[in-house]
């Protein structure tokens, strides 16, 4: 096996070996974490050994890469058009310290601005794959990888650079909307006009917006300018790091420089007014990020989002905002108790306490600040820490590789069918930056009112992830006062046990009540598990009062902005292309034509008891060939129907009980074409005084 050691710069660009000849398959390369992030390009079968700051090594081997169009309106492939829009995904499979994991990133959707993976203590930015050239032209900046995949890496205990970063432009929200990236198509690798990979990040700004130095620059200049006959004003700031790497940060479309060229610039100094020259459809600034490793002439262009990610993280830290963080995790062995710690987390301003909830990617969980967990089988597991400080919620995820043979003794985990907060996190999932978790993990959400004090019971199943028989479960509820409204009952024996959860809101004033349920199964690994029950007793009715002047049936519409909406994470994507149909309230989500088992979008209304006509919103832009299954949970049970929206958008009429026990799921399994999750209409059919309980 061929080796290359690059310990000073930590940089590797396989296309630029001194011989000019691509390395043989199976080559292994060595990198060392240093003061700035490292960049690597790999072909299939090649691997990297990355030495962490603590001296430990991690190994990543590239197994495969792919890219796929999820949505496009192009009339001809690779032919740009003024109203063109394309959303696509890039994937790769890595063998991370011996175990396989798939990475996935999306382009031209909000998911383009993501939290990077952290795998075995290494922060991994999955930057680009060469396979995107199957449907993209690489003529809009130097973003095409020279090898099959490109990554940026850093020790998870370190920043992308030693300096604290300051805002590049005014953005108090610390959030970038994909709709503000030109026409929603000019994020990194974005399909500009539907067909061209974009080598940079465009952010819409009014002409004259000040831009600031996010870090100190040793040199700066206009490398292209209108004054010298070029077609635009393009600025470059240069920073040389102590480890020898050189960074180029660039702003294009600027109006005027505020600091003389080649003079040093202090961090935070305003250096130009921007977004005013040759900007096209929208006034915007184009941002670019390039890295030159120590001792080489190689320049690699990377996603500027990496820089903005660090800028936003530093802003949050300075503001003292709630922060979820865990101590980096090393690869583990099946059967060993792996230690986790939430010690690096912090509460938000004015808060002192943190609640921690861990999920381990296998159905197990914990409420401890520093839990220990046993994995029953080999694989790569996403471990997620969710923290709340009583005001806000935040989460972070790390992946851990687990090796060894499956255990032969009982291992306890939990499952709850049709409860989104119990759904194990997919290993390929990242989080969209700046959007807090929609649901508290491992939590049953119930709702009751005076006219229906007892919502439907829930079942939480005990799972044995290995072999043998589970002992009889023991249950405790905290606080003890919750026993006044909550009943938990153990049912079944051995590996067929479950916990029935019942709530009764009699005598409870309007509020949200939360109880913690602890399960103990002596003799099993992870013998202590936990989940939560949240009972909401609202003060408002399920539907607003009927207007005396308008005699028409009442209806409720649930869309992607509604509290009752849920879509399985890191699967559904949506665009903000202004020239294309946007659906109800201007946005919708797509399955990308992927008929994947287990993926769904849920529309869960808070209804008054009655019979309702259920239909898909008229504004939803379905294509003629689309067909998919809709599952309805109603007062009489469940109904599964196949829908072809071109024929009819009507799902059926159903009786629903008071509250949130009913819902509609759009399923992708077995679907045909582009399933669109947009909005579902629940139209009241019977008089308000009637509350039928019959099935449809």
Same-domain pairing of 20 and 116: yes
Domain membership flag for residue 70: yes
Residue 172's Cβ-count burial label (10 Å; 0-12, 13-18, 19+) is exposed
Same-domain pairing of 509 and 575: no
Q: What are phi and psi of 517, to 5 degrees?
A: -110, 125
Residue ending a domain, among 537, 568, 592, is 537
Residue ending a domain, among 155, 170, 187, is 155
DSSP state string for 8-64: TT--EEGGG-TT-SPPPTT-EEEEE--SS-EEEEE-TT-EEEEE-TTS-EEEEEEEE
Domain membership flag for residue 191: no
Same-domain pairing of 394 and 435: yes
Same-domain pairing of 474 and 405: yes
Question: What is the Cα 306 distance to its own chain's centre?
Answer: 15
Reduce the DSSP state of residue 319 to 3 states and report it. helix
Same-domain pairing of 532 and 562: no
Domain membership flag for residue 615: yes
CATH code: domain of residue 671: 2.60.120.260
Domain membership flag for residue 314: no
**Number of structural domains in the chain:** 3
Domain membership flag for residue 456: yes
- Identify each DSSP E strand in 82-204 by its residue range: 86-96, 99-107, 117-119, 122-129, 137-140, 149-155, 191-192, 196-198, 201-204
- What pLDDT does 546 receive? 44
DSSP state string for 355-372: EEEEE-SSS-EE--SS-E
Residue 648's Cβ-count burial label (10 Å; 0-12, 13-18, 19+) is exposed
The answer to whether 29 and 47 have CB atoms below 8 angstroms apart is: yes
- Identify each DSSP E strand in 157-200 by its residue range: 191-192, 196-198
**pTM for the model:** 0.94
Residue ending a domain, among 94, 128, 155, is 155
Structure tokens at 155: 């020790």
Domain membership flag for residue 494: yes
Domain membership flag for residue 183: no
Domain membership flag for residue 275: no
Same-domain pairing of 532 and 646: no
Q: Which domain holds residue 608?
A: 555-684
CA distance 188 to 302: 8
Same-domain pairing of 505 and 575: no
Same-domain pairing of 506 and 581: no
Same-domain pairing of 503 and 644: no
* Ranges of the chain whose pLDDT falls below 50: 1-24, 545-552, 689-696
């Amino acid at each position: 096996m061929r080796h290359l050691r690059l310990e000073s710069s930590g940089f590797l660009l396989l296309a630029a070996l001194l011989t000019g000849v691509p390395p043989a398959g199976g080559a292994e390369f060595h990198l060392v974490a240093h003061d700035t992030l490292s960049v690597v390009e790999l072909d299939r079968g090649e691997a990297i050994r990355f030495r962490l700051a603590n001296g430990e090594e991690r190994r990543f081997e590239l197994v495969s890469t792919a890219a796929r169009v999820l949505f496009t309106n192009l009339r001809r492939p690779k032919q740009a058009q003024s109203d063109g829009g394309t959303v696509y995904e890039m994937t790769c499979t890595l063998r991370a310290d011996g175990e396989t994991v798939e990475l996935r990133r999306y382009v031209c959707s909000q998911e383009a601005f993501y939290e990077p993976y952290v795998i075995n203590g290494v922060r991994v930015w999955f930057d680009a794959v060469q396979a995107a050239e199957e449907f993209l032209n690489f003529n809009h900046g130097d973003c095409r990888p020279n090898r099959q995949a490109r990554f940026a890496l850093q020790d998870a205990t370190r920043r992308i650079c030693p300096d604290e970063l300051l805002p590049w432009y005014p953005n108090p929200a610390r959030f970038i909307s994909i709709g503000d990236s030109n026409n929603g198509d000019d994020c990194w690798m974005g399909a500009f006009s539907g067909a061209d990979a974009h080598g940079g990040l465009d952010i819409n700004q009014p002409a004259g917006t000040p831009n600031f130095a996010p870090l100190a620059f040793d040199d700066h200049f206009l490398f292209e300018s209108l004054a010298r006959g070029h077609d635009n004003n393009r600025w470059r700031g240069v920073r040389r790091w102590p480890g020898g790497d050189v960074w180029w940060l660039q702003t294009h479309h600027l109006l005027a420089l505020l600091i003389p060229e080649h003079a040093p610039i202090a961090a935070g100094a305003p250096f130009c007014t921007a977004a005013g020259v040759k900007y096209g459809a929208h006034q915007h600034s184009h941002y670019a990020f390039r890295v030159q490793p120590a001792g080489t002439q190689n320049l690699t262009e990377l996603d500027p989002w990496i820089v903005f990610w660090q800028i936003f993280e530093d802003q949050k830290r300075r503001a003292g905002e709630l922060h979820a963080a865990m101590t980096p995790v090393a690869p583990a062995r099946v059967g060993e108790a792996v230690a986790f710690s939430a010690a690096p987390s912090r509460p938000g301003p004015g808060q002192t306490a943190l609640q921690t909830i861990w999920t381990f990617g296998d159905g197990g969980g914990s409420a401890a600040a520093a839990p220990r967990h046993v994995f029953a089988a080999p694989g790569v597991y996403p471990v997620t820490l969710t923290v709340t400080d009583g005001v806000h919620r935040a989460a972070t995820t790390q992946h851990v590789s687990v090796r060894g043979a499956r255990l032969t003794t009982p291992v306890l985990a939990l499952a709850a069918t049709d409860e989104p907060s119990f759904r194990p996190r997919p290993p390929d999932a990242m989080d969209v930056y700046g959007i807090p978790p929609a649901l508290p993990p491992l939590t049953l959400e119930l709702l009751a009112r005076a006219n229906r004090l007892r919502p439907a019971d829930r079942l939480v199943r005990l799972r044995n992830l290995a072999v043998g028989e589970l002992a009889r479960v023991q249950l405790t509820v905290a606080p003890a006062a919750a026993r006044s409204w909550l009943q938990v009952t153990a049912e079944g024996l051995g590996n067929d046990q479950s916990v029935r959860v019942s709530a009764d809101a009699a005598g409870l004033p309007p509020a949200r009540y939360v109880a913690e349920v602890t399960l103990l199964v002596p003799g099993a690994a992870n013998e202590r598990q936990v989940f939560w029950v949240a009972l909401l007793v609202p003060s408002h009715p399920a539907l607003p009062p009927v207007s005396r002047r308008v005699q028409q049936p009442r209806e409720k519409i649930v869309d992607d902005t509604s509290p009752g909406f849920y879509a399985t994470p890191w699967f559904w994507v949506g665009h903000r292309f202004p020239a294309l149909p946007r659906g109800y309230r201007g946005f919708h989500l797509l399955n990308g034509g992927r008929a994947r088992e287990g993926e769904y979008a849920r529309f869960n209304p808070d209804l008054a008891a009655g019979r309702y006509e259920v239909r898909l919103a008229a504004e939803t832009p379905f294509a003629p060939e689309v067909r998919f299954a809709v599952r309805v949970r109603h007062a009489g049970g469940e109904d599964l129907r196949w829908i072809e929206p071109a024929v009819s958008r009507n799902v059926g009429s159903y009786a629903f009980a008071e509250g949130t026990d009913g819902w509609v799921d759009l399923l992708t399994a077995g679907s045909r074409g582009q399933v669109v999750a947009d909005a579902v209409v629940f139209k009241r059919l019977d008089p308000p005084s009637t509350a039928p309980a019959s099935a449809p």
